[in-house]
Structure 1
């Protein structure tokens, strides 16, 4: 596991604490539960690129400023995320329902390696930026606009959901020889006492640059 991946461990605890506020306040009926990925959208044999998948050359590092996922109507600004005093990754302010964050001590999206982007699933007012992350399908386009004026275009390889106790750190945070992206939010089962019981993770790789 890379050094940046090791620093990111424990971050999901912080995300879990700040997720599920809306469901707690409004009940946990099925109509309120965010979409969860189906088994058909998971990797067949691990997080490796399929033979023949188009792969764009990595870009030089540049901070991301906006993320767009047209398939689930995401169009949100991005902020830098650091580590809290407890070593977990900070999260975007939960009062802003349309804001994503990226782990600024790691790899910026579009550069070689594994970039980590997090967003809330909901807040006290309702669904937040990554509420529909579990509805993504393989091949969905993810666009990240960068400070250098270039847009890194990613293609989703898989979407998986993990229980908190079984979160696969190396699988999610491990280094990549390509420009890879991980989108993470809360998901899985839900408890009114403790909130979401897991996390939804979308895996993607760079396929184009505009």
Structure 2
């Protein structure tokens, strides 16, 4: 009799584990179903539902990237207000879910900032930017995106301009990739050029000289001179 119950227990356990595995697999696949949709349809889907957030970091980044790309496209900015708000609210839900699962996930806070700026929630957006920079200060690819977003809303930054934004500018000023990411804005925008120059002047002399050489090279490659 005991062998019967042991076998039954094993069978039930296997069924539970199999069902749980299938559930997790379905959650992991869900954001890819979103991302594989034609780009023209993604805004429509986001206006109706958020991109689902799976358990893994990789899958979570896929969900966040869906929102990141959607909210930086021209079609999003040209959309009617109600549609923009629907998409931004969906992406806000995705971002908040991601950081509730991983409180140190800087990309989640960045996407939250994108969504809150789109919704006109400036103070909350700046707090999300601050959090993103605080937990991911050395993630250069993300610093590039934070700098672009902060410059878009530069007049609203308050204390973040002197803290997180300057820290991101200092990070970008120290590598060829970082300088390349800001070179066009540096050449075209005198205010930005002044801000970056002030930050670079606080860095060691060899970094300052490398910055000057690299930004001149980037400017020449854009046909703008230096």
TM-score where L is the length of structure 1: 0.24
Point out the structure with the larger strand share. 1
TM-score where L is the length of structure 2: 0.22
Point out the structure with the larger helix share. 2
Higher relative contact order (CA 8 A, sep 6+): 1
